[in-house]
Amino acid sequence: MSNVLVELSNAMAAAAEKAGASTVLVNARRRMSASGIAYAADLILTADHVVEQEEGMTVTLPDGSMLGAKLAGRDPGSDLALLRLERPAAKPAEMTPDARIGQLVLALGRPSTEGIEASLGVVSAVGGPVRTPRGMLDRYIRTDTTPYPGFSGGPLVDAEGRVAGLNTSGFGRGTALTIPASLAWKVAAQLAEHGSVQRGYLGIRSQGVEISEAAQKALKREQAAGLVVVSVESGSPAETGGMMVGDILVGLDHQPTQDHDELFVRLSGDAVGKSIPVEILRGGQPQTLKVKVGVRP
C-alpha cells in the first residue's frame, strides 16, 4: 500500500542510501572507529579529533573494501581533517550549502562494517561564530539528531540525500554540532592544497572599545564597538598599509568588525593574499586603507 507516510519513509531511506554511498568508516584511533565523508574520489573529510594516530590509518568504503590512508591536512580549530586514500575509490558526496531551521535531516554514520546507521531530527539552530576549544568555528548547525557512538565525521543529510554538514562531538561539553557543508568544503579545499588552513594576518594588537555617538554619525552607521590598535608590528601588512597605533578598526572587507571574534572570522580563509579595504576611525573620522592580508605565521 502506498500513502504519503510510505512515500516519505521510502524517500528518507533513499536519502540515507544515497549519502551512505559516500559515507565511510575511518579507523584512525585506537578504541573506536569513526565516520568520514568522501570529499573527492581519493579524499575523505572527517573530524580532526578522531584522528589520534597518523600511522596505519585505514578507511573502509561502503562496499567493504579497506584502504590505507594518509593525513592530507588538519584544522583543529574547526575540528576537520582530510585523509588521502592510497587510490581513488570513493564516491564523492553531493553537498548542499543550505540549512534551514525546522528542516528534516538525518545524521548518518558508519561506525562499523555492519552498515550505515541513521538518526532523524530537525535543524534546531544555525549560528556562529562560536569559540571552540582549539579555535573558532565560523558557522555551525545544531540539530536534535542522536549522535550515536562513531558518528563523528559523518554527514548531516537533507531529504534528498545531500550533505548539509559534518557532525562532530569534538567540541566537548557532551554536545554534538554540525559543521555546515559550505564551511567544511572550503576548509577541505584548503587542506587539500596547503595541508592546513591559512589564517589571515594583519600584524596588529587591538582592544575592544566603544565608539562614541559622534564617531558613529561620522561613520554613517550604528556600530557601538570597534577595535583600537595598541601596537603595529614592524614590516607587517598593517604597517605597510598605513595602519597606526590609536586607529580604531571598525570594518574589514566591507563587513563591520566589532570584536576579536569578528576580526578572526573576517581574516579566515579567502582573505589571505588579497588587498582588502580596512575601515578605521582616526581622530574620530572614518578612513579606508588598503591592506594586503598576510599569512599568520
Say how many CA atoms lie within 13 Å of 208 toward its Cβ: 10
Q: Shortest gap between Cβ of 240 and other proteins (angstroms)?
A: 54
What CA–CA distances, in Å, run from 61 to 22, 23, 94, 108, 158?
A: 8, 8, 16, 14, 21
Catalytic member of 22, 152, 169, 206: 152
Q: Which of 39, 140, 148, 185 binds other proteins (CB under 8 A)?
A: 148
Q: Shortest gap between Cβ of 48 and other proteins (angstroms)?
A: 25
Which distant-in-sequence residues (6+ apart) come within 8 Å of 48 by Cβ? 74, 75, 76, 78, 79, 80, 81, 170
Distance of alpha carbon 59 from the chain centroid: 22
Buried b (16+ CB within 10 A) or exposed e, 109-140: bbbeeeebbbbebebeebebeeebeeebbbbb
In the complex with other proteins, the residue whose CB is nearer, 28 or 106, is: 106
Interface with other proteins in residues 111-130 (CB under 8 A): 112, 114-120
CA dist., res. 73 & res. 88, Å (int): 17
- The secondary structure of residue 154, as a DSSP letter, is P
Instruction: Confirm or reject binding of residue 224 to other proteins (CB under 8 A).
Output: no
254 a catalytic residue: no
289 contacts 280 by C-beta, under 8 angstroms: yes
Kindly determine how many residues on this chain lie close enough to bind other proteins according to the rule CB under 8 A: 29
Interface with other proteins in residues 4-33 (CB under 8 A): 4-6, 8-10, 12-17, 20
270 a catalytic residue: no
Catalytic member of 79, 138, 247, 253: 79
Q: Shortest gap between Cβ of 151 and other proteins (angstroms)?
A: 10
Q: Which of 67, 69, 106, 202 binds other proteins (CB under 8 A)?
A: 106
Instruction: Confirm or reject binding of residue 275 to other proteins (CB under 8 A).
Output: no
Residue 265 corresponds to which cell in the numbers above? 572570522
In the complex with other proteins, the residue whose CB is nearer, 107 or 228, is: 107
152 a catalytic residue: yes
Buried b (16+ CB within 10 A) or exposed e, 53-72: eeeebbbbbbeeeebebebb
Q: Shortest gap between Cβ of 9 and other proteins (angstroms)?
A: 4
Residues that are catalytic: 49, 79, 152
**Contact set with other proteins (CB under 8 A):** 1, 3-6, 8-10, 12-17, 20, 106, 108, 112, 114-120, 145-146, 148-149
